[in-house]
Amino acid sequence: MSVLVGKKAPVFSAEAVVNGGEFVDNFSLEQFIGKKHVVFFFYPLDFTFVCPTEIIAFQEAMHEFEKRNCAVVGCSIDSKFSHWAWLQTEKKNGGIKGVKFPLVSDLSKTISENFDVLAGDWDYNDNGEALFNGAPVAYRGLFLIDKAGVVRHQVVNDLPLGRSIDEALRMVDALQSFEENGEVCPANWHKGKTAMKATQEGVAAYLSSN
């Protein structure tokens, strides 16, 4: 598993569905450079079980991400048509109708490979036939990308393990706090709490006051 933190996020241009039902042919995260932070997350498949709980939870928290000037973008290996159909399906029927943030189609699996979240890999048998080992879907990867297009945080969950949207928001807060104040964020830091200077004196002052 690659560690992308501190590196430029892989560049891609792909089909996507935006605003709950509009097709876009050349969606790219580069549109946010210099403008917004981005939470870019992968999920395994449309029309599954844990995935809609995550996607709907992101949508329910969109006002919080928007307050932080942070875009949220989802991605799976499904086609744009599958995304569109899922977005038109009522929640009571297992759909995600009402979700407005972009869902990227990684039908070729190249985006998942470049972010190193594909839950398997290709190999060849003795006859030279291509075989896929593992699951040809993405793990639940999440990448926090700053305005310069650099990955500043990543976390990857196995397929059965749903992620925490509150933690994603906390990491956005932590990054923005550091960018604005130059102070580092200690363990269990939340917005509104005291950060600290990255010096021995700063650590001592923080620990003595908590």
For 108, the token pair is 């070729």
List the catalytic residue out of 51, 70, 75, 185.
51
Amino acid at 192: G
Strand pairing report for 37-42 and 70-76: parallel
* Token pair belonging to 159: 């397929």
Site of tokens 């928001």: 169
Residues 35, 36, 37, 42, CA torsion sign? negative
Q: Where does residue 71 fall: left (phi above 0), alpha (psi -120 to 50 degrees), or beta otherwise?
A: beta
Alpha carbon of 85 to those of 27, 147, 168: distances in Å?
19, 32, 27
Respond yes or no: is residue 51 known to be catalytic.
yes
User: Under DSSP, is residue 208 helix (H, G, I), strand (E, B) or coil?
Assistant: helix
> Is there a contact between 87 and 21 (Cβ–Cβ < 8 Å)?
yes
* Cβ contact 14:104 at 8 Å: yes
Amino acid identity of 25?
D
Catalytically active residues, by annotation: 51
